[in-house]
Structure 1
């Protein structure tokens, strides 16, 4: 994927470079006309490449199990892509949650070390075989008890395992910057913008936030770093590091994210675990870890977020969802092929924005009063909102394509200088 982005970028640079020998006097009018016009294919290809590049590059999955097949790894990545396309704010909440968790890990590590540990970067080997993925605190406890030797893994070595670097991330950021710039130029010159471009802008904005949160997290690491059990007389106990889910029981796992004082489940944990219902439909365990792999949307971290961090995470998750839908509201008065499609667009964008605002207000105001029945109340409140959100998002996603069949003439015009800026 990174190589493809580099090749496409270089091709665009070559195509965008002005030449003096390729344009003659006879075809000068045709050349100028091509610079001032764009085709439907150029609109679709540019927006599609921007969405796929941003979404694929922004997702930093956790390390897979050594027993996972290549198909299983690709399928898990595909499902994460679907979640990112349907609800990109969930990916931001996941990224922010892991970033907040890095603040609770030992100060002797860099943030890259902390991210690497949270994504399942350290694997305990017993008798030469993988035994268990280690959480940060479990790893440090084993080092203190001299059950294992401390891993000598530098930040440079971790970055070397990562498939992402400044060049690949920089190319995607350049593409996003160009896309935003050409949309601004269209607004300045009063040119029509398509609904597809508005939707692409929403993805670009949210993926930019995800990029910032996960900038120091290694990308697409396939194998954890091995640490070996020193004792030959005994074997370590198995610890399962997962977060509590609204659909799980005590027999399924150890709910380390539940407060130790038997209080209610943290607000952010309940909201994120609600997505477990949808992702499990595709056969992906979003919140449940195995001994050799961390959960898809959760790091191996038993640290509890402070109430302030939990509330900030909740606000950030809902705020990004509101921003995402509010950007779609920018196309409220755009030209649509039919009145019914315009009404569908307006209804879906408004339903997401208003629905999330109401849900956030209810959660923040009534949380203290419903804490005793948090599981059932949260499910009854969040599940309908999630269903409404998914239906509205699918509607907007479909309308992004259907409205392309009948665009106004100004939508095919473009600012000539934008073609000379390198982009995908």
Structure 2
């Protein structure tokens, strides 16, 4: 009897439980389209929104909006451009100058614009600085080993008595890659008499070659504690890892879409190229201090005052640049033979000056001939302008050299007055004309990458749900 009563109670409870979904709303399948459809049906029904039970697990929607594409691309571009820049120390104009922070911000904005329109140029700068810093650190370590060997052969007892302390001090002031970057970015300065002969002095930035020259005389005054460099640097390993995580997520998203056969937008392709450049900059600049504002002064008296020497052998003329040996006068008048000689003498770096613009522009040029139309140019005119801009910037350096030689021939041939404009350009503004044309083409590429979002294939908004589960901002 008791067993039969218990069975009736269990049956009743089971029946009531089966009626609950009908009372409070039908159970929904655990997929995003079903949940979204139910939400749309009951958007204005507050009772249903509170009473309808949701599934135990709801997958994220396999769809994104235009704002989502813009948000992820703009945020990734910011990470690739502004946070990846490691600028040199701003040169102070006088002993009491305190506007280093504002000048650093101004320089960073200028270089951020350059990184937006020509990231391969900044990547070239990073490669150039890395090569120079590594070579400087290698040379200084060789001089240090040579000096240590000479001291050991001389049997200097005064030094051997404090050998352990000196070894610890030398280890803290090591001539490593970080020190090399510190010098290359303008970390060492020396107060030197002005050329006007009035008895004034100004802070001069020591160049890498100048540090080598001083090191052949004495190494000790050039030592800078690694802790001091680290304290002045704003670099944060966790911050760099988070930025790399964000750019890696963008790369993974684009790779996943390609694997699923889903179309990419032109803006995503543009961002992906910036991601590749940013990763390269982070790798090359990983040991470079970030946002240093002050340099370390070296006592000129330790080297006999450097009276009567050529300042060009010791001091850098322009610290705001990122390329150590770039001459600002190239922006006015570029000599074809000098440019070719620069490219040839730089070896790998010279080849990169030609190859990097080709790679960057070639990656952007491919969508213009995309037969499937996945990248969706809004009009044929915009696609044609895109091709012209990409081809012009890809052939920028070779075209510059050829044009310089042609202008040189026109100038030497003493052409008639009708071609005098070419002589005027050749003598004054050929470098500036090249820069203006290059920047106009690159600015069009950036603007068109954003403008193309107004006409994309519908598949651009479909996205695998699992990719959104990867941590990103």
In 2, distance between residues paired with 1:188 and 1:112? 40
The aligned counterpart of 1:135 is 207
2:20 aligned partner: none
What displacement does 1:63 show? 0.6
Aligned match for 2:80, one of 42, 54, 65: 54
Indicate how the Cα distance of structure 1 residues 86 and 419 shifts in structure 2: closer, same or farther if over 3 A, else same.
same
Specify the alignment match of 1:395 in structure 2.
444
Q: Which residue number in structure 1 is paired with residue 383 of structure 2? A: 342
| Structure 2 residue 468 is matched with structure 1 residue 419 | yes
Mapped to 1, the partners of 2:449 and 2:305 lie a distance apart of 60
After TM superposition, list the pairs within 5 Å mapping 1:205-244 onto structure 2: 205-230=276-301, 239-240=311-312, 241-242=315-316
| 3-state SS of paired residue (1:36) | coil
- Counterpart for residue 325 of structure 1: 361
- Distance in 1 (alpha carbons) for counterparts of 2:140 and 2:88: 22
Contact 1:359 1:385 in 2 (8 A): no
Deviation at 1:335, TM superposition (A): 1.4
Taking structure 1 as the reference length, the TM-score comes to 0.68
> What SS is found at the alignment partner of 1:124?
strand
Deviations 1:275-310 (A, max 9, x none): 579xxxxxxxxxxxxxxxxxxxxxxxxxxx998651
8 Å CA contact 1:335–1:408 kept in 2: the answer is yes
Return closer, same or farther for 1:351/1:138 CA change in 2, 3 Å cut-off: closer
> Cα RMSD between the aligned structures?
3.9
SS of the residue corresponding to residue 337 of structure 1 reads coil
| Higher relative contact order, structure no. (Cα contacts within 8 Å, ≥ 6 residues apart) | 1
Distance 1:338 1:138, change over 3 A: closer
Tell me how far 1:236 sits from its aligned partner: 5.5
What is residue 67 of structure 2 aligned with on the other side? 41
Name the stretch that deviates more: 167-176 or 384-393.
384-393
The change in CA–CA distance for 1:338 and 1:136 in structure 2 (over 3 A counts) is closer
* SS across alignment from 2:298: strand
Q: What is the distance in 1 between the residues matched to 2:443 and 2:388?
A: 13
Tell me, yes or no, if structure 1 residue 359 matches structure 2 residue 399. yes
Q: 1:113 to 1:25 in 2, by over 3 A?
A: farther
Q: Once the 2 structures are TM-superposed, how far is the Cα of residue 44 of structure 1 from its aligned partner?
A: 0.6
Task: Indicate if the aligned counterparts of 2:393 and 2:438 stay in contact, CA closer than 8 A.
Answer: yes
1:247-294 Cα shifts (integer Å, max 9, x gaps): xxxxxxxxx96xxxxxxxxxxx57x864579xxxxxxxxxxxxxxxxx
**Structure with more of its chain in helix, by fraction:** 2
Q: Out of 437, 458, 469, which is 1:409 matched to? A: 458
2-side partners of 1:356 and 1:191: how far apart? 33
CA–CA distance in 1 between the matches of 2:281 and 2:256? 26
How many angstroms does 1:348 deviate by?
2.0
Match among 96, 99, 103 for residue 72 of structure 1: 103
Map Cα deviations across residues 57-76 of structure 1 (whole Å, 9 max, x no partner).
32111111243623322111
Q: Which runs of 5+ in 1 are unaligned?
A: 1-23, 245-255, 258-268, 278-304
Map Cα deviations across residues 33-92 of structure 1 (whole Å, 9 max, x no partner).
x52111211111110111111112321111112436233221111111111112222212
> Normalising by the residue count of structure 2, what TM-score does the alignment of the two structures yield?
0.62
**Further displaced range: 378-387 or 68-77:** 378-387
Decide whether aligned partners of structure 1 residues 360 and 99 sit closer, same or farther in structure 2, where only a CA change above 3 A counts: farther
